[in-house]
Chains A and B, each alone.
Chain A
């Protein structure tokens, strides 16, 4: 098949410019590196050249907690004694460490948050984590547990001089059961490594997101990451069977159950899922992995109103229930911007106010294709859907997905993006986008020329999970735009009982806005938990609640 390899790049260039998804994995299993969008990410062109501001400059109101000790040479000597190896410690306290070496631990990938950390520890085992945390707790040293550092809300980087405890050396796959699909891994295993390991066994990791090549599973669990497979496989709260974690006092929470059912007492592991490292550090995870689907089909549809899209979603659940694996929403504004930036061929001939992408995955390609075909015929004949296309091969599957996955990248084309990641009841989901657009227009901030800061207000997201990404593409960041957006967006979301952070967490970015989604009583109860497990408050301070 000499030709196949030569053909591939050519077709790809012709059919799918700016493709985001990675190449197909072995054995026809589509293994896509899809991009999820980010919240409050402020991308600039050439941002890599821009020096990030220190978090302490962005948030001058945050003061260092003076209960915490400053790190001394004596502390460092103790950690060296525990970890032994030179490579397991990055010591900027007693030695010179270049900024470039420290930066990956001190700064998030968006270059939005930067701390003043001088000490990075990379324990190789749970016991080492336990010894480190106990010592830190006894000596009032604040710490930040850190995985692949791919978070979107600044939860995994220090603010002041907190010690970073990085999971990268804890990277063993401990156990896998071919029959039940239970996988036990160290916290520092990279998501893609675990997924490739599972692919060889015919299984799939129940979580998929854009950062899969660098994020650590421990971090995914601590952040309760959502991603594109959530509609099909559910949240980590359901898939994680057990957790091994270390409390600040050094206690090892050994709850690494491999059982799907275990109704014995309080389910304490749930506190660590989405706990963002504030009550303890996750060191290992036991997770239930589903069978990898052999067949995948994708359709891209256009509809005349948001109501019609909801009907289509309803029908998709009825007719495609067991094979439906994604239902993604895109508005015409987002698709127009993608088209403007990429100058590609649009999938549909006409233009419609709303588009959706439906993906099915199952075990039998012909069967799935027939079901999807019948569904499409049905929604077309009932005039729920105005037009649509069905991908006939892998290339078309990829180029249709690129219409959805290319949105975050294309939005950044003009300079910056204000991003909100919200959970909103389905019926109201799109109203927020319309109202936000109107507010921006009324304020005279949106226009086609450089005089206006705002390019457009767009909405897209994981319709199946009631998860809206409200994005405002801008030419430059402008206080006036921020005043129109905040706290309006949060207030609006709170009013409809939505969540101000659907899948990205709180970290430092949204700490102050939790009140829009949780009552005082709820936040009070959370604080009790925090004080119970971390009475000295050394775990990931200044963030979360």
Chain B
């Protein structure tokens, strides 16, 4: 990992960038969490590296944009993957973009999630921080021409494969809550996401019904303090 530069400490991992086999590469290192009991930490870390790699490969197979996977190093707790030179998170994008672009993005998020769920991939940690907006032409420009942008899903550490409406519903619920807690017009953004989701899935009725159920579950659990 020489010549790699630390660019971010996320909640789960340290992110480095550099060159690997001549390609701009991002290393995601799930470093040791000192607060966790060592055996538990190692077990969880390995599970998540495996989950992430599997989900990325599966997404690639069905045509969902994710970073390309270059190397898995379980010993050093690292994943090597494609680095996007010019990208911002959907969270940053929504904070600055025009209403028109936010609407387009919301729609695209919905359509992408639909495709993901149609293939029984559950992301497990959907937030607007885990969706990247990448300029396909390598330009450092995100707010002028929407057609030049593509949407890339990242952070599959909690991903798994499941065909149940329950898990898909929870997946959407997690995203809804993340949007509510951070964005100014959550109803509109999530409304559009769901609209696109409905349009692009077959079994959506079950999933949306589950989502409604999970939302209620959310309110019920408030009991004693």
Query: Do the two chains bind?
Result: no
Interfacial residues, chain A to chain B (CB-CB below 8 A): none
Residues of B within 8 A of A (CB): none
